[in-house]
A and B are shown apart, each in its own frame.
Chain A
Amino acid sequence: DAGVIQSPRHEVTEMGQEVTLRCKPISGHDYLFWYRQTMMRGLELLIYFNNNVPIDDSGMPEDRFSAKMPNASFSTLKIQPSEPRDSAVYFCASSLVGGNYGYTFGSGTRLTVV
């Protein structure tokens, strides 16, 4: 298995632009998680899905953030409009039976908003 695949690896965008981050989970995994990592706040859970259904989005910082999972093999995290404070590394992770068996993380997308 290729693991969790995220794209792009790096994204530089101007403030106000829309940004879309993509994730392909491991085939057969029924949970998908989006995390954000910053120096100041560490790893923060933004949202997670079970069988493509959003379960908990309480970590989404603002309405500018949205996430979808149209099918079991694809998820997106969108920021519109983007702001400099959104600059971070965004990780996608997937697992079986929730986090209780450990996640498999993607390599992350480093987002820079200028």
Chain B
Amino acid sequence: AQSVTQPDIHITVSEGASLELRCNYSYGATPYLFWYVQSPGQGLQLLLKYFSGDTLVQGIKGFEAEFKRSQSSFNLRKPSVHWSDAAEYFCAVGASGSARQLTFGSGTQLTVLP
């Protein structure tokens, strides 16, 4: 079975600074990987996804993520954070092939200082 670890429960950055949120997964084959963002009182919104091909994927809101098979990682990055990026971020893994459900990490809460 697949699993996801987000080692950082809470991260604080200043507005305009760069951001990297960590995600490590466990899965025996090539996984499908996702990053979601959740604003307070809202559902989760898909930021980006990786299935295959180019290991650097671009998403919405200026986010990108890099799949590193050797490190079992799929870290989320943004070069310059905006105050509106303050939210909770979830990494998720899905098994390729016939499996249907995603497994979510425990989330990283991002605080942006003015």
Contact = CB atoms under 8 A, between A and B. Distances in A.
Interface of A: 4, 31, 33, 42-43, 45, 48, 50, 55-56, 91, 93, 98-108
Q: Is the interface of B mostly helix, strand, loop or mixed?
A: strand
Q: Is the interface of A mostly helix, strand, loop or mixed?
A: strand
Contact of B49 (A55, A91, A102): A102
B51 A105 contact: no
Interface residues of B, number: 24
Given A42-B107, A100-B32, A100-B96, A105 B43 contact: yes
B53 to A, nearest CB: 15
Interface of B: 32, 34, 36, 41-46, 49, 51, 90, 92, 94, 96, 99-107
Given A42-B104, A42-B107, A103 B44 contact: yes
Contacts of B94: 98-100
Contacts of B32: 99-100
